[in-house]
């Protein structure tokens, strides 16, 4: 019996990520693209691993959140501040591409950057990398919307819009 082959098998592209230089605070510039990323460092906890001693795949979403929250804090805001204003940013879509595993006690860097903002949704890009071996482990993106405490969809809030504009992210006036 022949093993089925995924139609996506040959479309997978490994993500290259090299740092050109570090700039103020925990920000870096990516080589080749000139894109600015925020960096959060973390150590893999034993609780983050599965029975095979590698990071359980769902924990990379937690790492994405660590990167996103750090970027917002480094921009002079906090997600807690937005929640106190009655604004919430649930994830409505995401993509994760796994390239290599992380082990217990590895020191990882989570790189995050605003990708694009539209009137009612916005997205962030992420790269999780083991900088000691200069290897990308995971990359992906999340797409969010803005809602109020009654779960009504709102226009992207001014705080988020300002963070995206300050970061030089793509700003769209309508959904494409």
List pLDDT tens digits, range 6-16.
444 445 567 88
Q: What's the pTM value of the predicted model, to 2 decimals?
A: 0.89
Domains within the chain, CATH numbers bracketed = 19-171 (3.10.129.10)
- Asked if 122 contacts 160 with a C-beta cutoff of 8 angstroms, the reply is yes
Backbone angles phi, psi at 141, to 5 degrees: -150, 160
Whether the predicted pLDDT of 24 surpasses 90: no
Instruction: Using alpha carbons, list the distances in angstroms from residue 56 to 62, 106, 124, 142.
Output: 11, 14, 22, 19
State the DSSP string of 75-128. TT--HHHHHHTT-B--EEEEEEEE-S--BTT-EEEEEEEEEEE-SSEEEEEEEE
List pLDDT tens digits, range 155-166.
999 999 999 998
Q: What pLDDT does 50 receive?
A: 95
List pLDDT tens digits, range 87-146.
999 999 999 999 999 999 999 999 999 999 999 999 999 999 999 999 999 999 999 999
Q: What pLDDT does 13 receive?
A: 66
């Amino acid at each position: 019996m022949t093993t089925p082959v995924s139609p996506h098998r040959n479309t997978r592209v490994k993500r290259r990520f090299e740092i050109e230089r570090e700039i103020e605070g925990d920000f870096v510039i990516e080589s080749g693209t000139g894109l600015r990323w925020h960096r959060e460092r973390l150590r893999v906890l034993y609780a983050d691993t599965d029975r095979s001693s590698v990071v359980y795949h769902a924990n990379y979403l937690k790492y994405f959140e660590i990167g996103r929250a750090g970027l917002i804090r480094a921009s002079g805001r906090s997600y807690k501040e937005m929640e106190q204003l009655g604004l919430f940013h649930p994830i409505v879509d995401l993509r994760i591409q796994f390239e290599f595993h992380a082990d217990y006690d590895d020191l990882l860097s989570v790189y995050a950057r605003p990708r694009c903002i539209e009137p009612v949704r916005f997205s962030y890009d992420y790269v999780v990398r083991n900088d000691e071996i200069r290897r990308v482990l995971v990359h992906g993106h999340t797409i969010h919307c803005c809602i109020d405490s009654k779960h009504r969809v709102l226009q992207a809030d001014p705080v988020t819009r300002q963070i995206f504009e300050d970061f030089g992210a793509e700003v769209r006036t309508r959904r494409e």
